[in-house]
C-alpha cells in the first residue's frame, strides 16, 4: 500500500476531489473522547501528570520532525482518556513517554537510538533503566488501549485541503502559510483547551490565524472560504480561533519579556511586530472578539523592505 502517512491528502490533485469526506468522517476515531478535557480540568494532579509526560516526549523528540511529538502526544491523550492515570510514579511517566514516542517513531518510520533515549531518560535520577522487554510490554498496552488505531488523523492532515480553498497561487506563499499554521498547531497541542476541538477545526482555526497575521488584506476571503466549507462548523471554528489567539498572544508576551532582559536582538522583535502590521478590515471583526494589544500601523508599500525600529511600537 502506498500512502503518505503524515499527509494522506498530500497528492491532492491526484485524489478524487470528494475524497475529503473520508477524513472528516473518521477523525473522531483518532482524538480523545469529548469528556477527556473536562476530566483533566477536574484534577490538578492529572494535569500535572500530562504536563510532565508531554515535557518528556518533547525532550525525546527535540531533534526530530515536529510531527513526531504531535503524534506521540496524541497517543498519550488517547491512552489517558482510556486508562486514566494508573500509577502516580515518576518512572511510570517516563515509561509511558518512551512508549508513546517509540510507537510514533515507528509509524513515521523514524530511526532513533535506543541508547540516546536511555541516557536522556536517566538524566536527573539514577533509578529508571527500562529494559527492551519492559518498553515492548508497555507498547503492547498502549496499542491495546488505542485498539491499534495508530494512524492518527491530526490537524496536519487537513492543512492541504484548506489551503487549496484559499486559492493562493504562489507556491512560496502557500508554504509560508502552511509553515506558520503548523507552528501554531504544535504550540497549541500543549494546551488542554485545544483538546476539545476536532483536528479539522484546529487546522481551520490555525490557518485563519496564520492568514490574518501574514495576509491581512486577503483574510476576509479566506474566512469566507472556510465558512462556506460544509464540513466545518463555523461557530466551533470561532471558539477554537479564540483559544488559539490566546495561546499565540502568550507567545508574543513571552517575547516581550525576553526583550526586557536585553538578551534578545531588537531585530527578532521587528520580525514579529512587522508581521502584525495590518489595517483592520470589517471581515476581521467577525471572529476577532478581543481588542488587539498592539497598535497597528498601515504601510502602503509591501514590496518595500524598510524595517521599522522597535522604539516606534507601543501599546495602546
Partner 1 sequence: MEKPGGGGVLSAKEAFEKLEKVGEGTYGKVYRAREKATGKIVALKKTRLHEDEEGVPPTTLREVSILRMLSRDPHVVRLMDVKQGQNKEGKTVLYLVFEYMDTDLKKFIRSFRQTGQTVPPQTIKSLMYQLCKGVAFCHGHGILHRDLKPHNLLMDPKTMMLKIADLGLARAFTVPIKKYTHEILTLWYRAPEVLLGATHYSMAVDIWSVGCIFAELVTKQALFPGDSELQQLLHIFRLLGTPNEDVWPGVSKLMNWHEYPQWNPQSLSTAVPSLDELGLDLLSQMLKYEPSKRISAKKAMEHAYFDDLDKRHL
Q: Which residues bind partner 1 (CB under 8 A)?
A: 1-5, 8-11, 14-16, 18-19, 21-23, 25-26, 29, 82-83, 102-103, 106-107, 109, 114, 132, 135-136, 139-141, 143-145, 147-151
Cβ proximity to partner 1: between 139 and 183 the closer is: 139
CB of 121 to partner 1, least distance (A): 16
CB of 151 to partner 1, least distance (A): 4
Contact 159, 203 (CB under 8 A): yes
Contact 63, 124 (CB under 8 A): no
CB of 70 to partner 1, least distance (A): 16
Cβ proximity to partner 1: between 23 and 184 the closer is: 23
Angstrom distances, CA of residue 187 to CA of 13, 54, 67, 132: 29, 12, 12, 31
CB of 169 to partner 1, least distance (A): 22
Closest Cα partner for 30 from 163, 160, 202? 202
CB of 103 to partner 1, least distance (A): 7
φ/ψ (deg, to 5) at 315:
-75, 155
Cβ proximity to partner 1: between 67 and 247 the closer is: 67
Cβ proximity to partner 1: between 2 and 170 the closer is: 2
Angstrom distances, CA of residue 213 to CA of 160, 266, 278, 305: 19, 20, 8, 17
**Alpha helices, H only, 27-170:** 35-41, 44-61, 67-83, 90-107, 114-122, 132-145, 159-166
The cell for 144 is: 491495546
Cβ proximity to partner 1: between 130 and 162 the closer is: 130
Amino acid at each position: 500500500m502506498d500512502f503518505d502517512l503524515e499527509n494522506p491528502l498530500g497528492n491532492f490533485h491526484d485524489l478524487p476531489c470528494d475524497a475529503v469526506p473520508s477524513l472528516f468522517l473518521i477523525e473522531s476515531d483518532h482524538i480523545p473522547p469529548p469528556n477527556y478535557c473536562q476530566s483533566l480540568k477536574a484534577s490538578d494532579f492529572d494535569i500535572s501528570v500530562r504536563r510532565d509526560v508531554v515535557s518528556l516526549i518533547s525532550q525525546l523528540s527535540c531533534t526530530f520532525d515536529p510531527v513526531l511529538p504531535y503524534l506521540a502526544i496524541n497517543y498519550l491523550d488517547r491512552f489517558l482518556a482510556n486508562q486514566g492515570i494508573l500509577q502516580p510514579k515518576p518512572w511510570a511517566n517516563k515509561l509511558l513517554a518512551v512508549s508513546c514516542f517509540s510507537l510514533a517513531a515507528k509509524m513515521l518510520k523514524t530511526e532513533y537510538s535506543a541508547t540516546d533515549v536511555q541516557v536522556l531518560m536517566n538524566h536527573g535520577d539514577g533509578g529508571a533503566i527500562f529494559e527492551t522487554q519492559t518498553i515492548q510490554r508497555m507498547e503492547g498496552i498502549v496499542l491495546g488501549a488505542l485498539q491499534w488505531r495508530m494512524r492518527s488523523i491530526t490537524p496536519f492532515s487537513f492543512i492541504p485541503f484548506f489551503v487549496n480553498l484559499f486559492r493562493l497561487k504562489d507556491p512560496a506563499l502557500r508554504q509560508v502559510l502552511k509553515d506558520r499554521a503548523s507552528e501554531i498547531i504544535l504550540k497549541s497541542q500543549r494546551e488542554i483547551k485545544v483538546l476539545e476541538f476536532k483536528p479539522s477545526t484546529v487546522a481551520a482555526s490555525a490557518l485563519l490565524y496564520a492568514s490574518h497575521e501574514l495576509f491581512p488584506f486577503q483574510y476576509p476571503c479566506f474566512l469566507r472560504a472556510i465558512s462556506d466549507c460544509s464540513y466545518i462548523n463555523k461557530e466551533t471554528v470561532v471558539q477554537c480561533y479564540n483559544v488559539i489567539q490566546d495561546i499565540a498572544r502568550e507567545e508574543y508576551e513571552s517575547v516581550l519579556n525576553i526583550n526586557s532582559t536585553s538578551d534578545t536582538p531588537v531585530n527578532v522583535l521587528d520580525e514579529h511586530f512587522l508581521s502584525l502590521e495590518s489595517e483592520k478590515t470589517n471581515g476581521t471583526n467577525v471572529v476577532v472578539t478581543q481588542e488587539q494589544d498592539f497598535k497597528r500601523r498601515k504601510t502602503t508599500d509591501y514590496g518595500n523592505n524598510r524595517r521599522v525600529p522597535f522604539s516606534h511600537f507601543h501599546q495602546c
